[in-house]
Structure 1
Amino acid sequence: MKGDSNKRNKNKYCCFHRDHGHDTDECYDLKQQIENFIRQGKLRHFVGRDYKDEKLKAKMEESSRPPLGEIRVIIGGTSTGQSSKVKKMYLKAVQNVQLSGRPLRMKEADEPTISFTDEEAKRIHHPHDNAIVITLLIIDYRTRRVLVDNESSADILYYPAFQQMRLGRDQLRLACSPLIGFGGMKVQPVGTITLPVVVGSYPQ
């Protein structure tokens, strides 16, 4: 025990330290020792369910605290061939920290809600982080296995698919910026094109 032994409270006794000054159930060193033994698995038979429940409750309370703000690490990106002004605006948005008190963009009144029912969740192992893969109508071609990734900086259409859609190379616009993968490998796109896409059915 730390401190002058003559100044300790003689009415309190700690069995762990075998000395006066504080009660055993107040002993910080004893609690730390027990915590260490529990982490090492030495007190597995003595640790009750209540201890685990308390730990789980503490973790849940910690995770339920509201965040201080929002830092956008990846937010879409600029497409290839954008002007320097657009790139500067994008950079400004990336470096901005959105404080939680500020209002976010309000949802448009006529914007349809995308939701998934329990029926659609059948035969899916939970919890899951499956990608959303859908079928779209792109210039009158039913295009299957379209990966939806809102955080991608580019919408990629592979050249063989471009050819099968019977599009001409003269419809492509020049792409100045290369695509760069996580490994740092650069790929120069053949070009960029804007295509009409139908999602869902009329009127939404």
Structure 2
Amino acid sequence: MGLLQQPHPMKATCRDQSKYCRFHRDYGHDTEDCHDLRNQIEALIRRGHLGHYLKSREVTPRPKGPPERQINVISGGPTADGSSTAARKAYARSTLEKHTRPEHEPKITFGVGEVERSHHIDALVISIQITNAQVKRVMVDTGSSADVLYFDAFNRLDLTQGDLTPVASTLIGFTGDSISLLGTTMLPITIGEEPRVKMVMTTFMVVDLPSAYNVILGRPTLNKIQAVVSTYHRTIKFPTLAGVGEARSDPRESK
């Protein structure tokens, strides 16, 4: 079996003393970031010398060549950046500004004990309160640039056409199709359980399409409540004045 060729130690001038490479036996970068070590390991794998080390590990195949097609997520609509060019430029400038962080922001963590079933592919589906109604089958989708309220749920909230604001924007769906909006409506939503709850005003894009869900909660609201999403733990967590609030996915609703 070919062995790794040990290089000569690097010159110790102007090296970052906080990082040490065991392969080069010198400072300057971490072992995990060593390109020389990585290249030699890959060469040994190609020659078949490390096969018995790889049998017990999952090997991720790497596609060759450029991608042949693109699959999009839900995008578009009059989101936080607005519909006009001027509004989008103003939004882009605002994202570059530094904002002060709260002095006592609760630490958000996820523990191993919070996972009921480690191997799952369930969607993250939660319940939230919209106005005075508890709404189930709310899918949390970090890939969506809009918060979506389906028309069936809109009607069951006892809302009418007078609660809709006409818009000229469209949404781009998963397949690339343009989806016309019935309008937008701004509603208060409450998420979490007392006393660790958050209430925010959310602008929903209302669409008349068949769906397994009542609502899609996208990035605008998730960012507004500073949510940290873990599909593995089937939970979203967010800071509140009373500590860390959370909304857990219902496995039955997810299926």
TM-score (norm 2): 0.42
In structure 1, how many angstroms separate the alpha carbons of the residues matched to 2:194 and 2:83? 32
**Which among 129, 134, 137 is matched to residue 129 of structure 2?**
137
CA deviations 1:34-76 (Å, max 9, x no partner) are 97564142x45xx886xx8xxxxxxxxxxxxxxxxxxxxx9x9
Identity of aligned residues (%): 36
Unaligned runs of 5+ in 2: 7-38, 55-72, 197-255
**Structure-to-structure mapping, 1:148-163, within 5 angstroms:** 148-163=140-155
1:124 aligned to 95, 118, 128, which one? 118
For residues 36-185 of structure 1, what are the structure 2 equivalents within 5 Å?
36=43, 38-41=45-48, 43=49, 79=78, 82-91=83-92, 105-109=99-103, 114-125=108-119, 131-185=123-177
Letter in 1 for 2:46: R
AA of the residue aligned to 2:78: S
Aligned to 1:4: none
Q: Which amino acid aligns with 1:39?
A: R
Q: Larger helix proportion, structure 1 or 2?
A: 1
- Structure 1 residues 121-150: Cα deviation after superposition (integer angstroms, max 9, x where no partner): 12132xx78653221011122111212234
**Cα root mean square deviation, aligned:** 4.2
Is the radius of gyration larger for structure 1 or structure 2?
A: 1
Secondary structure of the residue that 1:152 maps to in structure 2?
A: coil
Contact kept? 1:77, 1:90, Cα under 8 Å: no
Shift of 1:170: 1.1
1:89 is paired with a residue whose SS is: helix
SS at match of 1:193: strand
Q: 2:114 corresponds to which letter in structure 1?
A: E
**Of 191, 194, 199, which aligns to 1:199?**
191
Identify, as 1 or 2, the structure richer in strand. Answer: 2
CA contact (8 A) 2:77 2:170 kept: no
Q: How far apart, in 1, do the equivalents of 2:171 and 2:42 lie?
A: 51
Name the CA distance, whole Å, in 1 between partners of 2:83 and 2:131: 24
Give the whole-Å Cα distance in 2 for the aligned partners of 1:164 and 1:135: 15
Residues 195 and 40 of structure 1: is their aligned pair in 2 closer, same or farther, counting only changes over 3 Å? same
d(CA) in 1 for partners of 2:42, 2:108: 47
Number of equivalences:
140
3-state DSSP of counterpart to 1:162: helix
Q: Is the 8 A contact 2:129 2:189 kept in 1?
A: yes
* Matching of residues 7-26 of structure 1 within 5 Å: none
Counterparts in 2 of 1:188 and 1:111: CA distance versus 1, 3 Å: farther
**In 1, Cα distance between equivalents of 2:112 and 2:98:** 29
Rounded Cα–Cα distance in structure 1 between residues aligned with 2:77 and 2:195? 30
- Deviation string 1:145-185 (CA, Å, 9 cap, x unpaired) is 21223452110111111111111111100111111124331
Does the Cα contact within 8 Å between 2:76 and 2:170 map onto a contact in 1?
no
